[in-house]
Structure formats: structure tokens, C-alpha cells
Structure 1
């Protein structure tokens, strides 16, 4: 994937909520980002972790922008016979594009590339230029996509599903999901610092987008709207039933005012949503 525009402000505590520390931990990298699993000791974690390699490889093969993948092939040729994994991601992207009034738009990839190279960008072709017919995907001329705004959430959900038989697990593939137990997490903002703790309940997921954590040489945030609009919040943290949904929502909400966020969160069944403004004040919707 492209350089990360997301600062991991959700930091896992060492123990399950209400239990003494005593977990098996795995750390690695998925799609160029740090990944972490916390699993209760004595539950066959080594065997299960070994079986995750195929799932992680499939995620990389679909969404990576750093290595050959379905996404790089689609951007290069403008067409693709997509896997089920890619089709699911594109359908979710379309859903979130419509729900957020266009704030969530993977079509920003050409704009992102131009800013990264320090050159002027042409107009962005929005998700409306994407055609899905069965397994066939086609882009409009000049269109390119990034799925950074939901791919790590999808990875988190897939790994969480695979680990469901293990017991109590915290999956952190860039976004976090609790499996089989509740976890206490520290909420942080890169500018405001510590903002206290939250409890992530079993079966729930959380994602944070922090626009100021990664900037272009110009000082502009890597979180950017399809018309070049800048982010409105220092960080946005969203809880949801899936990490993919939380991931996409936190990305879009960084560009949206609070009343619009409240409306979309209600319509999609998200929440709570925690917003940190430029002064470091925390607002919970």
C-alpha cells in the first residue's frame, strides 16, 4: 500500500479487560503496516497463527499498492476480473461513497500520487466512473483507485473470523477488533496526546484516522477529499460491527462536519464516534 496516512492511536492494553496479563502475542506486517495479535495463552495459538499466512497473502494479493496485486493491475489496465475479496471491497466502497455524500472516494489515488510527487493534479474521477458487471470491473479513462481507506479493516475482519475458535483475541491489522472478550484500549491523538481509555466489547471493531500523523512535503495531510478538501478533525475514532465499516467511516468522517457525521452514523448504525478538533477537544457523538 502507499505510505500510511493513518496514525495508530488505538493502543492495546496488555491484558483482557478484568483479567491478569497472560497473553500470547504475534507481531508482523500486513500491507506495509504493523500488525499485532493478542491471544490468551494455552489456546493453540501457534497452530492458528500458522494458518493465517494464506489469508494474509490473499489480502496482499488483492489490495497492495506496493507490490503486484489486483488493485495495481486494475489501475494499470483499467479492467479486471475481480476476486470475491476485491468485489466485496468495491461494493463497500460504493456504499460508503453514497452514504457519505462522496466524502469517501477511492478515486483520489491520482490526486494523492500528484501531491506525493509535488506536481499539479488533474480532476479526480469519482466512484461514479467505476463499472461493476458480474466479476468484471472497469475504470473510466484516467481513473485510478486506492483502497487504503478500508483494506486494513477488511484484513482485520478476515483475521478475526479465522481466530474466532481460539477464544479471546484482540486483532490489530491497522484497525482493531475484539473476539470472544472485551479489551481496554488507550485512546490517543497525535497532537492532543492521551484522551483516556475505551472498552472495546467482544464482536465490535474500532478504527482511528489521524490526518496530521502523515503529511506531504507541502504540509498537506495525506487525508484528502476528492476535490482536494482538507480534513476538519485532528482525529476521528469510530466503533462499528465490522472493522471495514469502521475504517471507511473514520476516513470519510475526517472530512465531514459534525452534523453530517451524526446523520451518517445514525443511518449506518455506527458509534460511538469520537472527534478531536484542532484545539484538542474531544466530542463524542
Structure 2
């Protein structure tokens, strides 16, 4: 029987088992054996959360659920811009974090490596651009052309990953008024850490989705997990599928968040210009880790196709699916 596609979705699902899994529709899974899953539902990292662990041992399943929830909650206290008491909000308020937690240091170091790799196309310090657009479009009668040039220039002057200083005992923002966002990488990092947890728990065939998707091994029958890439402009429809075995996939699209009705201003900011990117309808990246796939899908959204192709050619194991403004697809592989 052909495999159906699992469509990338915005809420968190961990579907873990040694049993076979097949996708039904775009968000649900059916198991070949009647195993009652252990479930937890809530919200975290700015999204609705649903964690399900399918495991033949109910006690082991419950322990994995509890451990996964605890880990996701801990990351939320570090990385979430939606919590005023998070570590990232404290850094943005004061410009410095003393004795930061190791996960914050690890993630920021990964962010800086990926910033260097993409020549700054991925940049965690673009938060002032978000704030500039948010303030502008919150005003009554906001100009559809976007923030005034002077306001945009002032925000852009605060952007630049070179001004983010990270060490084991201190994180600092060198530019006055600078702030960071980890929305283009934190979900990937959380996915990778949960994968590590589930591997330690003995799971060898699992699909984890915490905003980004990563497969542990193949499906129990040895075939790849098949992931459907959602059409940004047509809910419930996919435009391509990707097969995963021990790989991760992440997708970025300007339609994920729009400041204005026409969608000219979205969350994918080009750190070089301060403007939102409209190069592609969507960018999907397959990589060894969800952290890398997440950050690169963000970076590639503002990069030219030629620049993307050059980076892919130089970095083994990458696969990129570009959907241009007209909906035409191109796949790049290293």
C-alpha cells in the first residue's frame, strides 16, 4: 500500500513507537497495533502542544512523556519571547546574561556558526526589525508602504550577529538597543534534544515534530518516513513530499506571519536590508539535524538561488526544495 504523506504542522507531536505507523490525512497517525498512547496537551514555545508516546510498556511511555514535557517547558523558560521571565527576554531587557544555562550557550553558539556559514543571512539579532514593523502596523492608519525609512534605518543599525558575544559564563549584546530572537532555530534545537532523549529511552523508529521534524531511523518496515510539504497558500494541500531516514526537515514561508493584509511585510527579515523577503513562497531544507534545517530554511528565504546552490554544493548532505513566487519548484542537492 502506498504511504500517505505527513504534512508539516505548527503544533508539537511526538509519535514514538517500535510499531508501524501510517499517516491519515494531514495531521493524524494510525498504529498497526492497538496500543493506547500516553498524551499531554498544552502550549509551549508559542504553539499548541500535543505530545503522544506510543510504547508497548505503559510505564516507559509515561516516563518519556514526563521527560519530554519537562524538557520542552525548560526550553520555553530559556528561549520563549512569549514569557517575560524567560532568559532571552532578560537578555533583551538588560543586554547581558550572567552565568547562562548551558543550553542557552549551546544554542547561541550554533546560531552564530550558522550566521557565519550563511554570511549573515541567518541572524538572531533581527528582533529590532520585528519590533519596528510591529509598532508601525499597530498604529491607526499605518502606511501600507511600511515603517518610515528613518525608523527602519534605526532598527537596522541594531542588527548584526557580530555584536552578540557568547561565552560559558556570560552572554552580552554589544550594540545599544540590540535584541535577539531564536524563533528561527529554537524549535529545531528542541526537536534535536527530544530526539536524544527518546534515543536514550530505547526508541529506534520514531518521528518527532516540535515545529520542525526529525526522524529516528526508518519506519519499522524499513521504508522512509514520508513528509508532505504544505502549500503555503492552500490549507490542507501538499505540493511535494520528502523521504526521511535519520534526517530532519524544516520549512520557512513568509505566510507563517504577516504584519499587513497584503503580506508584503512578514517575519522573514533580510538582515542586510531590513526588509521582509518575498523571494520564495516556501523553502524546505533537509539536513542531519533539525537545528541546522531550521536555521538554514530561514536563511535561504532571503538568499538568491545561486548563493543557496553554492552553499549546498559545499556542504554534504543538504537537500533544499524551493517554491518560487509563481509556485514553481526546484530541488537542490549536495
Deviation at 1:236, TM superposition (A): 0.6
Q: Which residue of 1 aligns with 2:129?
A: 111
Q: Which residue of 2 aligns with 1:229?
A: 275
- 2:133 and 2:178 map into 1 onto residues whose CA distance is 16
For this pair of structures, how many residues does the alignment match? 276
Per-residue Cα deviation, 1:164-197 (whole angstroms, up to 9, x for no partner): 1233221111000112334222122212642132
Larger radius of gyration between Structure 1 and Structure 2 = 2
- 1:250 and 1:17 map into 2 onto residues whose CA distance is 27
Write the mapping of 1:78-227 to structure 2, written as runs, cut at 5 A.
78-81=95-98, 82-118=100-136, 120-121=151-152, 122=154, 123=156, 124-140=158-174, 141-164=176-199, 165-182=202-219, 183-191=225-233, 193-201=237-245, 203-217=246-260, 219=263, 220-226=265-271, 227=273
Secondary structure of 2:31's partner? coil
- Structure 1 residues 49 and 101, CA gap change in structure 2 (3 angstroms): same
- 1:245 and 1:10 map into 2 onto residues whose CA distance is 17
Choose the corresponding residue for 1:75, options 80, 89, 92: 92
Per-residue Cα deviation, 1:61-86 (whole angstroms, up to 9, x for no partner): 11011111111111111111221111
Contact 2:208 2:215 in 1 (8 A): yes
Q: Which residue of 2 aligns with 1:271?
A: 318
The normalised TM-score by structure 1 is 0.88
Choose the corresponding residue for 1:32, options 46, 51, 64: 46
Contact 1:236 1:274 in 2 (8 A): yes
Deviation at 1:282, TM superposition (A): 1.1
Choose the corresponding residue for 2:8, options 7, 10, 17: 10
Computed over aligned residues only, the root mean square deviation of the Cα atoms, in angstroms, reads 2.5
Deviation at 1:269, TM superposition (A): 3.0
Contact 1:204 1:242 in 2 (8 A): yes
Deviation at 1:53, TM superposition (A): 2.5
- 2:258 and 2:301 map into 1 onto residues whose CA distance is 15
- Structure 1 residues 64 and 222, CA gap change in structure 2 (3 angstroms): same
Deviation at 1:234, TM superposition (A): 0.6
Deviation at 1:41, TM superposition (A): 4.1
Contact 2:51 2:65 in 1 (8 A): no
Question: Gaps spanning 5+ residues in structure 2: where?
Answer: 1-5, 24-28, 137-146, 220-224
With a CA cutoff of 8 Å and minimum separation of 6, indicate the structure with the bigger relative contact order: 1
Question: Are residue 242 (structure 1) and residue 289 (structure 2) matched?
Answer: yes
Q: Which residue of 1 aligns with 2:56?
A: 42
